[in-house]
Structure formats: C-alpha cells, structure tokens
Amino acid sequence: MTTVGTTHMSQSDDTTTDTQVDGTGDAQVDDTTASGTGMDGTEELIEFSNLSKSFDNGEETFTVFEDLDFEIAEGSFTSIMGPSGCGKSTLLNVISGLIPPDSGEIRRDGSTIDPGEFFYSYVFQEPRLLDWLTIGENIRFALRAQEVPPEDQAGRIYRYLELVGLEDKIDSYPQQLSGGMRQRVGIARALAVDPEILFMDEPFSSLDEFTAKELRQDLIEIWEETGKTIIFVTHNSSEAVFLSDSILILDDTGELFDHVEVDVPRPRGIGDEALIETESRMMEEFFAHLDETGEADSDETEPDDT
C-alpha cells in the first residue's frame, strides 16, 4: 500500500500508484508514505477501508467496487474521477450513506462511524429544485427538513443566496432562471444546511462550458470562504485538477488505482501550465494502467496453444 499527501488510498492488490505534483507542475510518482496534511495544516482524516458494493439483479451479481481503502482530509477538496459507469457515483452514495455498502468501515478521529453519522448535504447533477416553490422556499425546504429553527431560516436563505450571487432572485421560480443559476441555487441549498461535508455528483456536467467554467471558479471561492470538506465526482480531468487538492481515480472496473495530489497553489487559472502538466501526467498514468490491465486480461483469456 502506498500513500502520499492529504488523501491516501490503496487497493488490496499492489496496482495502486500515487502521483504528487508540486507547484511547478512537475509530477512525481511516489511510492513512499508521507504524513497527511490538510489544506489548513491539520491532519484530521476520514478513513475508508475495505469498502465493497455489488448489485444483485436476481440472476447475476455485479460488483461495482471491492475492498477500496482511502482517506480524505477534512476541509480538503477531493475529487473522485473515472470514466462513465465506473462506479464513482455509487461510491459517493455509499460514502454519504444513501446506499449501504456490502462491507467496509469508516473511521473518523480514530472511531468507527456509520455513514449516516456524517452531517452532509448533496449537490446533484441536475439542480432538482421544486418548480412550484420560489427559490427562497426551495432552500427553506432543506432547512425545514434539517430542523433549522424557523427564526434562523430567512437569514440563512438570504446569506447563501448572496454567496452564490442570487439574492435578488429569492422570490423567483426555478423556471425563470437559467441552468447555471438553478445549479447555483442547488449549491446554496446544500450549503444553507451548514454541512460538514458537501457531496457533489457531477454538478456541472449538464451545463454549457462557459457557465460551468464560471461556476467552478465560484465554487472554489465558496469553498475557500466556508472551509467545507468537498467530495466531488467528475469524469472531467481538467475540472478535477482545477478544483481539487486530491483526486482519486477509478478505472472502468471500479478499481481505485491512482491517487493524485494536486499541489498547485491557489488561485489557479484554467490555463495554468502546472495544471495542464498535472492533467497530462494523470491521464498518461490512467491510459498506461488501462493498457496494463487490458494486456493482463488478454493474457488470461489467451488460449494455451502449447
């Protein structure tokens, strides 16, 4: 098992590699263990070990992922990246407790916890707003669900709408807003309940690139302002390196095969050479891994002609 930086991960086999990229953009493949430090210098970790999940449709069992081990630093921005269908959203749902794992353990501050014990909120791929409620009432729905005292609700609604730049839309209905604005409301709703962890499942994938770019920048500002732990699912490598402190990479079989720590200082620009270099090396690692596993698979299936 090898670990580096704020986020640690491993697989039960030895295929895991860790890549660290420094501020100059020089990526280094590292197989040594280093001490984990969060963005603010703390070492509070959430440890996930032996997480497995499979689905049974009655005829066959489909394993999404098996025996995943990794750690996430509290207060960090961590992305889970991988191709479509690799199980990254399922992993997010398991981590958040929306789906129970088949096996595995989560430890926080050294104690085993249940996923349901996380005080989290969720930003979905689509905003999932209630069309018949105003923007303010949509956020109030989440606050009421979380039993936020009624006297605090109006203040929170305004504060978080202000944070996403939509305080003047408080009485508008969702269909009066653009797609980007609706997703901002989804973010404001998630933040308004003041979660410890914010889970984001490809929140910008359905937006046009111009809007997505703007929202990524806004998200980073919001994260820096609020200090939340963010676990972000994406299949977009540029998005992952731009946003994240750490990136966990799943391959198409659900194997967690790489961990990249993006040590590029913030504020970051989309065209930063260091980010481009990181992304490039990360993708090289990814495709090299696919080649290796592809060859291994074909070796296993090759008929013995001796």
Partner 1 sequence: MKRASRIAVSILVFVVAWWLLSVYNTRMFPSPVLVGSLIIEFVFEGDIDNSSALYHLWVTFSRVLLSTGLALGIALGIGVAMKANDSVAKVFEAWLPVWMTPPDVVVILVVMVIVGFNTQAVVIAVTFAYTPFALVTIWQGLQEIDSDLIEMADAFEASRFEIWRQIYIPHLLSYIFSSLRNLFGMTWKVAVIAEVFGISNGVGSRVRFWFLQGEIPEVLAYAVLFIGVVLVIEYAVLNPIQHRAFAWRRA
**Which positions touch partner 1 (CB under 8 A)?**
96, 98, 121-122, 124, 126, 128, 130-133, 141-142, 144-146, 172-173, 175-176, 193
Question: Closest distance between partner 1 and the C-beta of residue 259, in Å?
Answer: 27
- Supply the DSSP string of 281-296, one letter for each residue: HHHHHHHHHHHHHHHH
Quick one: 130 or 154, whose CB is closer to partner 1?
130
**Least distance between partner 1 and beta carbon 257 (Å):** 29
Which residue lies nearer to partner 1 by CB, 9 or 80? 80
Considering beta carbons, is residue 189 or 289 the nearer one to partner 1?
189
Cβ 200 to partner 1 shortest distance, Å: 12
* Ordered DSSP codes for 229-272: EEEEEES-HHHHHHH-SEEEEE-TTS-EEEEEEE-PPSS--TT-
Beta-carbon count within 10 A of 220 CB:
18
What is the smallest separation between the CB atom of 174 and partner 1, expressed in angstroms? 9
Residues in CB range of 137: below 8 A, 6 or more apart? 130
Q: Which residues pair with 107 in a beta bridge?
A: 47, 112
Distance CA 95, CA 105 (A): 10
Q: Which of 58/303 has CB closer to partner 1?
A: 58
Cβ-based neighbours of 24, under 8 Å, separated by 6 or more: 274
Whole-angstrom Cα Rg for the chain: 20
Least distance CB 291 / partner 1 (angstroms): 37
Q: Which residue, 34 or 98, is less far from partner 1 as judged by CB? A: 98
